[in-house]
Amino acid sequence: MNQPELSQSVVEMTTQRLARRKFLAQAGVLSIGGAVSLATAARPAFAREHDSAAERAQEWAQGKDTVKEIFTAALIAEDLASTFYYNGLIGTVIQDPNLAGPGGTATNVSGAGDEGNVAYLRAALTQELQHAALFRSLLGISDAGHDPVQTFYFPAGTFDSLLAFTATLDALENAFIGAYLNAIQEFAAKSANANRGDGAWREPADRAYSKEQLDYFAKVSASIMGVEAEHRVLGRVISGTDPANNRNYESTDGLNAVYNGSHSAVVALTTFLTSSTGPGYSLETAMMHQADVSLPIAGGPPAF
């Protein structure tokens, strides 16, 4: 298969929409939240009769997302990203001239390589690991070995050529950006409802969070979304796609919710939890060896 054909295959597989319930079963998320029902959420209070059908559908899906579901989806996405960047740094693709060059590695870039591009990927790995650690702490998960998903699947050849790798990077980062944009909106809506005391539509578990906490979660989501947007653009730099900064505004990538609904981030990422997609890659392996290739990056979440 030549590179253009491989790239098209990767794009098709990464944009495939599979059944949401399959994602939930594989992620083990159906058991999260105990008695909280995913099927009986009331209609969100912020949905108004004058809204369009599309707006009502979006509000319905967003209103069903609980804080814990948003955190869980984000953790799985960040673990997926960590696994992706780690394997890119150790895969055959690292020897592309736009990366470490022939004979080069993530920590020993050859004279024919591009040290700056490699540094982008090494930093991205660190950032995704940090994001995952934050959501792990918010969910009360002690270590990555207890995360909902331990194996991620990528189309064959994803880590073999620059074309395939950057096509997957672009698809992933667009989905992550869309997920966090929706998370910002959802946390803002939850905060607004909490502020006016009109929270009848909110799941019982959400009532454990104050308006201030919900505001903060929106801020953190915005902070992470900004970094994911950097990853999208730097991926385009690596692939030589001009202009790399090709948008006035980042996109929701067709997503209208994080967790629930047919156009959620959960559905968008299900491909990477499905063994038929391609070879499986272990989160545990990435966590065990990430320090060998990651690049230390300073900074933490924004102040509360």
DSSP character string of 39-88: S-PPPPTT--TTS-HHHHHHHHHHHH--HHHHHHHHHHHHHHHHHHHHHH
The pLDDT assigned to 203 comes to 66
d(CA 195, CA 114): 51
For the chain, percent of residues with pLDDT exceeding 70: 80
Q: Does 124 reside within a domain?
A: yes
The pLDDT assigned to 33 comes to 37
Residue with token string 């690049």:
295
- Condensed to tens digits (0 to 9), the pLDDT of residues 55-76 reads 777 676 677 899 999 999 999 9
Q: Does 216 reside within a domain?
A: yes
Q: Does 171 reside within a domain?
A: yes
Q: Does 46 reside within a domain?
A: no
Domain of 88, in residue numbers = 58-292
Q: Does 45 reside within a domain?
A: no
Amino acid at 107: T
Longest Cα separation, the chain = 63
Q: Does 166 reside within a domain?
A: yes
Q: Does 277 reside within a domain?
A: yes
Q: What are phi and psi of 154, to 5 degrees?
A: -125, 150
d(CA 122, CA 283): 17
- Condensed to tens digits (0 to 9), the pLDDT of residues 202-233 reads 567 788 899 999 999 999 999 999 999 999 99
Residue with token string 């502020």:
195
Q: Does 41 reside within a domain?
A: no
Residue 127 pLDDT grade (very low, low, confident, very high; cuts 50, 70, 90): very high
Q: How many domains does the chain have?
A: 1
Global pTM value: 0.84
- CA-closest candidate to residue 16, choices 228, 184, 254: 254
The secondary structure of residue 108, as a DSSP letter, is: B
